[in-house]
A and B are shown apart, each in its own frame.
Chain A
Amino acid sequence: MIRVILPAHLRTLGRTGSEVTLEVKTLTIGGVLDAIEERYPTLQGAIRDHVTLQRRPFVRYFACEQDLSHESLDFPLPEPVVSGAEPFLIVGAIAGGRF
């Protein structure tokens, strides 16, 4: 099982708990995102574009103290994430503050 931590706004939007545990078919970044969007359809379009599947510019993917945001969707998940020892983090970037 893969543990995923979502930013607060997406927890509210998806009505998830503080940490999500998912069965992921393909152990890649794309596989995690597919599983999240399948479990919580209201998050479709909120993490990545509906059509291009490109990550939203102010969303980041972290795991094991590494920034995986710029890796491809078929990038394999780190072993501690696969084993459940570490969570996969989806983070709202430190940006904005204009208002």
Chain B
Amino acid sequence: MSKVRVLVGTRKGAFVLTSDGKREKWDVSGPHFAGWEIYHLKGSPADPDRLYASQSSGWFGQQIQRSKDGGATWEPVGNKFVYDGVPGTHQWYDGTPHPWEFKRVWHLEPSLSDPDKVYAGVEDAALFESTDSGQNWQELSGLRGHGTGPHWAPGAGGMCLHTIVIDPSNPQRMYIAISAAGAFRTDDAGKSWRPINHGLHSQHIPDPDAEVGHCVHRIAMHRSRPGTLFMQKHWDVMRSDNAGDSWQEVSGNLPTDFGFVIDVHAHEPETIYVVPIKSDSEHFPIGGKLSVYRSRSGGNEWEALTKGLPQKDCYVNVLRDAMAVDSLDKCGVYFGTTGGQVYASADSGDNWAPIVHDLPAVLSVEVQTLA
């Protein structure tokens, strides 16, 4: 029978939640790396028992942990992230030049085909690659070096490369997103990059339609349609049907189009999910009612999904890496909150229930569907 493994990164450790395909009863393992911030952990699609975790601390810096047995045991691997060449400068909050400084790994994206290959998105924004299962890391410096890097500026959470999306039909093509620089694409496996922000409109920058400077929060793709991308921007939900060459807004009837997460149904490439958050200064659901919104039409027309979610006095946030889907027959949808809840729906979002409700603030949620 199929099994589901949910990997949860929190402010104070990692948790592994497992269930059979019914997704009713859950075993909770953790905290792993207790007391450390776990920004993200993710399994290799090529070897589901190979997991990578980003472990960091204000005291002791960055560590990368690797498991070869599905999270039962872990070993620290390489943690040396050194920018290629002279790091140069980006813009600081006040617009002055500021040297690039490594702070932490926000996101780990294992290769779709090689369990030893994994990408790391870091703060200050850069992309690193390891081809030896996390022991050594090399910067793919064509991203920072393509020309717009000196104009990038940090968002409120820092200048982080938080999203890495690999095209399953073309291993040369990859997308990344940076707050607050925007989205970028490579068509040559990371050697060269270009901004793909045409159509984004952001009021917080001097030129709202600038080539870079947009605060992209998350990008999602369905494997069957790698040219179609969905984006939750700081404000606005967007889609692209030409691999990011241009974007159109699909916020439609959402009560607010601010938010962090966005994801796509495992079997319906036009069914997408967001969690609307009131505003950039009030990071919680409108009216204290936690709602996932689903569009079955690829955007514009949205319905609120509230069954099983708190509908009063709920003032949590759902951070950018904290939603994922499984690929069981009835698609499961999962998200974690800054209040320590991880909610699951085993029926594409119609009904929700908490798997756990008292974890530390959740930073990331990933799901593995296991045979």
Contacts and interface: CB of A to CB of B under 8 A. Distances in A.
6 contacts: A44-B79, A45-B62, A46-B63, A56-B60, A58-B59, A59-B60
Interface of A: 7, 9-10, 13, 42, 44-47, 49-51, 56, 58-59, 92-93, 95-96, 99
B35 A50 contact: no
A9 B60 contact: yes
B58 A10 contact: no
Most buried by B among A9, A51, A95, A96: A9
B30 interface: no
Most buried by B among A13, A51, A92: A13
A20 to B, nearest CB: 16
Q: Determine chain B's interface SS by DSSP, over half rule.
A: loop
A21 to B, nearest CB: 22
Given A9-B36, A99-B12, A44 B60 contact: no
Most buried by B among A46, A47, A59: A46
B101 to A, nearest CB: 10
Contacts of B76: 13, 42
A9 B57 contact: yes
A82 B88 CA distance: 43
Contacts of B361: 99
B338 to A, nearest CB: 10
Interface in B33-73: 35-36, 57-63
B82 A10 contact: no
B58 A47 contact: no
Contacts, number: 48
B349 interface: no
Contacts of A50: 79-80, 82
A99 B58 CA distance: 12
B11 interface: yes
B360 interface: yes
A47 B57 CA distance: 11
Q: Determine chain A's interface SS by DSSP, over half rule.
A: loop
Interface residues of B, number: 17
B61 A45 contact: yes
Interface string B67-92: 00000000010011010000000000
Contacts of B80: 44-45, 50
B156 to A, nearest CB: 15
Contacts of A42: 63, 76
Interface string B246-287: 000000000000000000000000000000000000000000
Given A50-B80, A99-B11, A58 B63 contact: no
A46 B82 CA distance: 15
Contacts of A51: 82
A13 B59 contact: no
B231 to A, nearest CB: 28
A23 to B, nearest CB: 24
A50 B11 CA distance: 24
Q: What are the nearest 7 A-B pairs in CB distance?
A: A46-B60, A42-B76, A58-B59, A92-B59, A99-B11, A50-B80, A45-B79
Most buried by A among B11, B36, B60, B82: B60
Contacts of A92: 59-60
A10 B76 CA distance: 12
